[in-house]
Structure 1
Amino acid sequence: MVDIFINEIETIGLYFGLAGIFFLIGMAIQDVLKKGDVPKFGRQIVWLVLFLGCAGFIAKGLIQVFWQGAGVG
């Protein structure tokens, strides 16, 4: 049974692993911002850039799923 779903298991593991890495990066950035006494505007810019990076990754995944489902890619 595992042989049948190995691709799905690998894909889910990859996505959870990347989500974990994004979480750890966020925690590290939060720690650096607190210890560095960064002003509020600078913190907002840093979090915006981090959010846009995550959103781009998610958008890429969704576009890939929709294109493959439609037979484009």
Structure 2
Amino acid sequence: MLAEYFVTIEAIGLDLFFAFIFIFIGLSIHDVMTKNNVPKKGRLVVYLVLFLGCAGFIAKGVIQFIWESQGVG
């Protein structure tokens, strides 16, 4: 049974890994910015860049899902 779902388990595990990596990156960036008294405008830019990187991975996943469901990929 595990061999049948190996690809699915691997894909879910990779997605969770990327989610945890983004969370840890966000927490470390937040810690560095609070220790160095970064202005609000700088924090906004940093969080925007982090969000756009995360949104890129989400968009990739959605596009990949749509293409695979239509038989393109």
TM-score calculated relative to the size of structure 1 = 0.95
Specify the SS of the correspondent of 2:2: coil
Q: In 1, Cα distance between the equivalents of 2:12 and 2:64? A: 15
Residue 14 in structure 1 maps to residue 14 in structure 2 = yes
SS in 1 for 2:68: helix
Q: TM-score, normalised by structure 2?
A: 0.95
1:38 equivalent in structure 2: 38
Aligned identity (percent) is 56
User: How many aligned positions are there?
Assistant: 73
SS in 2 for 1:52: helix
Q: Secondary structure at the match of 2:15?
A: helix
Structure 1 gaps of 5+ residues are none
Structure 2 alignment gaps of length 5 or more: none
